Amino acid sequence: MRTPYRSLLMLSMILPAALAQAADSTSTSQTMAIKDIEARLHQLEQQLSQAKIADAQAAAKAAREKQSAHHFEFHGYARSGLLASDHLTPTQGGVNITPAGSSGGHVGRLGNEKDTYVELNFEDHQSFANGAKVRYKVMMADGQDSYNDWTASTSQLNVRQVFVEMSHLPSFTGVFKDSTLWAGKRFDRNNFDIHWLDSDVVFLAGTGGGIDNVKWSNQAHSSFSIYGRNFDDITSNTIQNYTLTANNYYGPWQLMLNTMRSQNNQQRSNTGLGSSHATDSGVNGMLAYHAKSFYGLTQGSAMIAFLYGHGLGAEVKNIGSDGKLLDSANTYRLATYGTVRLTPIWSIAPALMVQRSHNRYLNGDKYDWATANLRLNQQLTENFSMQYETTYQYMDINPQQLNGNSAVKGSFYKVTIAPTFRPTAFKSFFDRPEIRLFATYMNWSQDLNHYSSSDALGGSGFHSGGQVNVGVQMETWF
Amino acid sequence: MRTPYRSLLMLSMILPAALAQAADSTSTSQTMAIKDIEARLHQLEQQLSQAKIADAQAAAKAAREKQSAHHFEFHGYARSGLLASDHLTPTQGGVNITPAGSSGGHVGRLGNEKDTYVELNFEDHQSFANGAKVRYKVMMADGQDSYNDWTASTSQLNVRQVFVEMSHLPSFTGVFKDSTLWAGKRFDRNNFDIHWLDSDVVFLAGTGGGIDNVKWSNQAHSSFSIYGRNFDDITSNTIQNYTLTANNYYGPWQLMLNTMRSQNNQQRSNTGLGSSHATDSGVNGMLAYHAKSFYGLTQGSAMIAFLYGHGLGAEVKNIGSDGKLLDSANTYRLATYGTVRLTPIWSIAPALMVQRSHNRYLNGDKYDWATANLRLNQQLTENFSMQYETTYQYMDINPQQLNGNSAVKGSFYKVTIAPTFRPTAFKSFFDRPEIRLFATYMNWSQDLNHYSSSDALGGSGFHSGGQVNVGVQMETWF
Amino acid sequence: MRTPYRSLLMLSMILPAALAQAADSTSTSQTMAIKDIEARLHQLEQQLSQAKIADAQAAAKAAREKQSAHHFEFHGYARSGLLASDHLTPTQGGVNITPAGSSGGHVGRLGNEKDTYVELNFEDHQSFANGAKVRYKVMMADGQDSYNDWTASTSQLNVRQVFVEMSHLPSFTGVFKDSTLWAGKRFDRNNFDIHWLDSDVVFLAGTGGGIDNVKWSNQAHSSFSIYGRNFDDITSNTIQNYTLTANNYYGPWQLMLNTMRSQNNQQRSNTGLGSSHATDSGVNGMLAYHAKSFYGLTQGSAMIAFLYGHGLGAEVKNIGSDGKLLDSANTYRLATYGTVRLTPIWSIAPALMVQRSHNRYLNGDKYDWATANLRLNQQLTENFSMQYETTYQYMDINPQQLNGNSAVKGSFYKVTIAPTFRPTAFKSFFDRPEIRLFATYMNWSQDLNHYSSSDALGGSGFHSGGQVNVGVQMETWF
């Protein structure tokens, strides 16, 4: 009876080995597969982490470069085209075509410009590791009535702006935290205009320095500047005018105050029926409201400004630029415009400018006028609109025979229709470029022909009774 | 006899557990490895998909920016260098040095230029989400004979071009699908030249507007434009000329037609032996063939153009720029050039221009001439070539004493050798920059000395009999 | 006794199957997991390798573009601001305000500049697949005393530089391996200045060509050039001057040699007490040492230069620009400056320039002077420093009544304090931009009032006895 036991013992002896071998046969291939997989995974993970490191390094490098690098920007404005009479002959045009023009009474510009005017802006922007930023700007400009491509003999090319701005200066804190220091020759950054009259509401420019955006609160901030300007010579003695400016903002409100001084300028004298000496000082101010709606009525934009100036300040737009003003000169000006989209097709932009300026260059003279302008855009296709503009201006001007000019009273009006091409659908009146064809009809009171023998109105072939001008023009800014 | 059964039963009872345990012992470690692997895989897959999302976002952002962003380009042309006699003294030079020059009879330019001429092009390119594209270009240029670095007193710096082009306008379809609208001051984009004579074949430029590339078929397209130009004054009354242009292409053929009108220009009169009044209208046309081979003989390029002009159109190159032309003026001009690489070392560019222009400014005058020019390039090293240029010009000019100039007949020739440096091996005659040294020998018929007392030929120290000029010059465009 | 055997046989038969099945049950799920993992791994690996290929392609594309592309750079210099008397009236200023100024005797510039001067540099850089590099540079510049923003009538805008440089030309080897070829109109690249006197030590400029950096050894290299310049006219016959230059460097040492020739210039005559004819040739030279320390004493920088010129070379700074010099003219000039940071707060920059120039325009005349200048910077905050500058100049000038000017002897001094704003903490005297306020006190010997009736000193309201000027100014370069 031993055999079975022996066989059992034998069996119990072979079992483990058999089991192990049986299990191994399948698991070995798996183990190898896993080893292989783990190797490949390791590679992948390394590659990914290397890629990440490379990305991080690139980003860091870009950031470093951005901090130290100079960044160039090219900006500009230009208009150029043909303006001709309806017989394709030379004609007259321009926003200051009327007797009111010389004292700021512009008429609408659409279909009424004959020049090629270009502004080239070259800017160098720099930002530093400490957060400070520097902006350097140079503007060159030229204005030309010649249609020729070589205009060296009549070139007006000149440098209108050269200035440096410094901002985000880490050591500037408190109300100066967001301030910008500047010096050089420039257009003041707080200037603004009524585009359709090609007239700034206030245009402060010259050479000097100042600080912008002294921030009293989230609502209130101010700018302070000094600007120098030159008047033409009196007996080879150049007169300089210095204007001190404070621009104060509270929400939509802007209050600008200017005081100016021009020593020895009272040596200057103007002559006409009488003779008056210029003044050597002046003040002016502007209260403006910049609305984000169309006069509170509907979506759109609007601006209202009231300006007053006395003495050298009586030129209320081109601050400190007119050296012939009298000590008794007083000018009041109201300027407003708005833009609104009436329908997906129709948009309109009305504008109004009214001035009363007395004792300006000679005692008893007056330069009073009112200009109403309306521009409409009728969107027809994505790239084509019809634009319409009409201007009415009334003027009552008595220069007291300054420069031999005569007192006149009367009105001027123009109507323009301008098929206009744009790269994209009309969004606002402030998108450019535009390429326009246009036809303009203008007429005026006969009396205006007699203001001056050398001005446009009443000039040869340009008398009251109706004039038609046609042309093609481009306008762009960016 | 039970024992074996019991042992068997016992055995059958322990077997499954033993088996399971044996298998597990290896498989557990594997399972854990797999779990770990799956976790790592999941991470990797997530990282990759995140990376992909980031890439996609970046690409989309770049695309968006590209659509809205302004893209600046700087382009230019310039030549500057010294031109002196072989004793290093001031000398005469220029492509229009002969009596034929004033009517377009240029001689070869190599080793024959004394000026510093520069064109600066500043371009702003914009592309919009709707596919529309805008190109704005301003060109400033200056030409100077002074070698000094401060030339304010003689500066000719002026703005030669300011225009806007709009293309790819989505609402333009059919034949206008690929058209470009433009307005402003410009050189017409269809102008082309014979470089070695520094002479355009046709140079239409001025201020106006038009439409380019109205596409009738894959073979045929046209451009239509109006250009205004100014003539100088007659009794303070500026005359303007208006040119209507149609440029029509069919394959390699170009047919250009111009008609011009300049009201009141007949008030202008030219005087010499007789006196003639200018005209107020004109026409001209050009038929040109632009070949992609060297006159059909071998690889290279060639162009042949025949021009005819009448009245104000009798200035066949500078379209509408010459206000002194008579109603009876007739000009015929043939212009051709080709370029070919003869061997890896030698390349040549022959050119020919012939003109017959009668009754131009005074009845009975004539400005007839023929110019043959040949430029060769001998490539010696990757950066150095020898260039050779020879010009022969025959002229028969009778100005009828206009401006006191006398009738002359005769020939002029010049030979120039110019060691030339380039950044890369010579590929074509139209690659720049080049820096060249040169020596030029020129001679001419004695008769030509007597054309004018104020022109170069016959001037002090510059008489027929042979002149040698030497110099160094750079030329570039990009 | 068979039963046990049978049961054993049976058992040995079922064992393997049982074993296999047991092992499989666990391993099947693992095998499937592994298969799945392998699939996912394969995907990942493919994605990664595709990403790598894309990266490589992008890098290659960027490299290709970089090789062929044009790279634009905008650089510039500008200063602009107000300079007024302490009563805000027009005043006199400028580094050449004294009688020594016309012969190069500049005084310190800080708080002593009244102009808006701007240089605009437009550069096109090109690099080619063969390693060659091209640099094209155009500089426009304008200088203006007018504060107005529209200065067309007094614009000095002109093109001061237009040149091409070629370097890394593969076929240039040996000593020419690192050489740069150039031609055009330019400021020589080896010019250098004393900034605080706004005076170059040597200013070679004009139109010509040359080769820079012919490398004899790691220590020694040379530049060779020819420059042309124009003198003003003598009886409508423009005179040109040609200057041959060799600039040789050995370590910190620079030896510059110039020889010039201006045929027919001896026709020019200067008149005063006597009359003398100009010369038609000249030579000059400069030995300079450019130190990397403050005169070997401490960290900083320093430069010492000795210049001698004879004949047309007696204008030792503006090489070849003065056509009135006599054959017997001799000028000796010593120029040196250094900069050093004394403490984290204080940095100083002393400068000295001394000249002896006899028989310059008339026999027996003399233009002798010595100028000492010191500028200090006191760093107060990261963005604000006080700058101080003082100049003392002694002059002994006897023009022999040239242009009616009288012999004078005496001294001039000025002291300036200038609160200065910078975007970052002061690092060196050569970082810009700066925006400065300043007040300057200047005084001079009464005798100097009598030098000329048309110069600044002694002019109306600008007499010896002390003058105070104030102003604001920006200065930048990049």
Q: pLDDT for C253-300, tens place per residue? A: 999 999 999 999 999 999 999 999 999 999 999 999 999 999 999 999
Tokens 């020589």 locate to: C188
pLDDT digits (tens, 9 = 90+) for B154-176: 999 999 999 999 999 999 999 99
Closest residue in A to B34 (Cα) is A34
| Three-class DSSP labels, chain C | CCHHHHHHHHHHHHHHHHHHHHHHHHHHHHHHHHHHHHHHHHHHHHHHHHHHHHHHHHHHHHHHHHHHCEEEEEEEEEEEEEEEECCCCCCCCCCCCCCCHHHCCCCCCCCCCCCEEEEEEEEEEEECCCCCEEEEEEEEEEEECCCCCCCHHHCCCEEEEEEEEEECCCCCCHHHCCCEEEEEEEECCCCEEEHHHCEEEEECEEEEEEEEEEECCCCEEEEEEEEEEECCCECCECCEEEEEEEEEEECCEEEEEEEEECCCHHHCEEECCCEEEECCEEEEEEEEEEEEEECCCEEEEEEEEEEEEEEHHHCCCECCCCCCCECCCEEEEEEEEEEEECCCCEEEEEEEEEEEEECCCCCCCEEEEEEEEEEEEEEEECCEEEEEEEEEEEEEEECCCHHHCCCEEEEEEEEEEEEEECCCCCCCCCCCCEEEEEEEEEEECHHHHHCCCCCCCCECCECCCCEEEEEEEEEEEC
- Check if C424 contacts A (Cβ < 8 Å): yes
Angstrom distance (rounded) from CA C66 to CA C47: 28
pLDDT in tens, B330-359: 999 999 999 999 999 999 999 999 999 999
- Nearest beta carbon to residue C149 from set A7, A128, A161: A161
Q: For residue A61, what pLDDT is reported?
A: 64
pLDDT number for residue A242? 97
Selected for mutation to probe chain C from A207, A232, A240 (highest C CB count within 10 Å) is: A207
- The answer to whether B342 faces chain A, any CB pair under 8 Å, is no
pLDDT at C1: 43
Does C297 contact chain B (CB < 8 Å)?
A: no
- Please indicate if any CB of chain B lies within 8 Å of the CB of C118: no
What integer best gives the mean pLDDT of chain B? 92
Q: Which residues of A touch B263 (CB under 8 A)?
A: 87-89
Q: What is the model's pLDDT at position C379? A: 97
In the predicted model, is pLDDT for residue B23 greater than 70? no
For chain B, say whether A77 makes contact (Cβ under 8 Å).
Answer: no
Taking contacts as CB-CB distances below 8 angstroms, the residues of chain C near B8 are 4, 7-8, 11
* Interface check B25 vs C, CB under 8 A: no
Contacts of residue B383, Cβ cutoff 8 Å, sequence gap at least 6: B421, B422, B423, B424, B425, C132, C166, C169, C170, C171, C172
Question: C85 vs chain B: nearest CA distance in angstroms?
Answer: 29
Contact check, Cβ <8 Å, B158/A142: yes
Percent of chain A residues topping a pLDDT of 70:
89
Q: What is the pTM of this model?
A: 0.89
Q: Chain C residue with minimal CA distance to B151? A: C158
Mean pLDDT across the stretch B34-44?
A: 76
Q: Which pLDDT score is estimated for B1?
A: 43
Both structure tokens of A150: 């070589």
| CB contacts, 8 Å: C456 with chain A | none
Partner C contacted by A261 (CB < 8 A): yes
Picking from A382, A374, A471, A467, the residue whose alpha carbon sits closest to that of residue A418 is A471
Q: Does A81 touch chain B (CB under 8 A)?
A: yes
Residue A163: pLDDT band with limits 50, 70, 90: very high
pLDDT classification of A37: cutoffs 50, 70, 90: confident
CB atoms within 10 A of CB C253: 13
Higher pLDDT, C374 or A18: C374
Asked if C78 lies within 8 A of A138 by C-beta distance, the reply is yes
Contact at CB, A152 and B158, closer than 8 angstroms: yes
CA distance B86 to B470: 6
Contact A245, A234 (CB under 8 A): no
Distance CA A207, CA C114 (A): 11
| Alpha carbon of B257: minimum distance to chain A alpha carbons (Å) | 19
Q: What is the pLDDT along chain C (478 residues), one digit of tens a residue?
A: 445 555 555 555 565 555 556 556 556 777 777 777 777 777 777 777 776 666 666 666 666 555 558 999 999 999 999 999 998 889 999 999 999 999 999 999 999 999 999 999 999 999 999 999 999 999 999 999 999 999 999 999 999 999 999 999 999 999 999 999 999 999 999 999 999 999 999 999 999 999 999 999 999 999 999 999 999 876 666 789 999 999 999 999 999 999 999 999 999 999 999 999 999 999 999 999 999 999 999 999 999 999 999 999 999 999 999 999 999 999 999 999 999 999 999 999 999 999 999 999 999 999 999 999 999 999 999 999 999 999 999 999 999 999 999 999 999 999 999 999 999 999 999 999 999 999 999 999 999 999 999 999 998 889 999 999 999 999 999 9
CB contact under 8 Å between A184 and C116, yes or no, is yes
Q: Is ipTM over 0.95?
A: no
- How much is the pLDDT for B233? 73
Of the pLDDT bands very low, low, confident and very high (cuts 50, 70, 90), residue A271 is very high
Residue B111 has pLDDT above 90, yes or no: yes
Are B321 and A82 an interchain contact pair (Cβ–Cβ within 8 Å)? no
What are the DSSP E strand ranges found in A382-454? 384-398, 408-421, 434-444
pLDDT at B126: 96
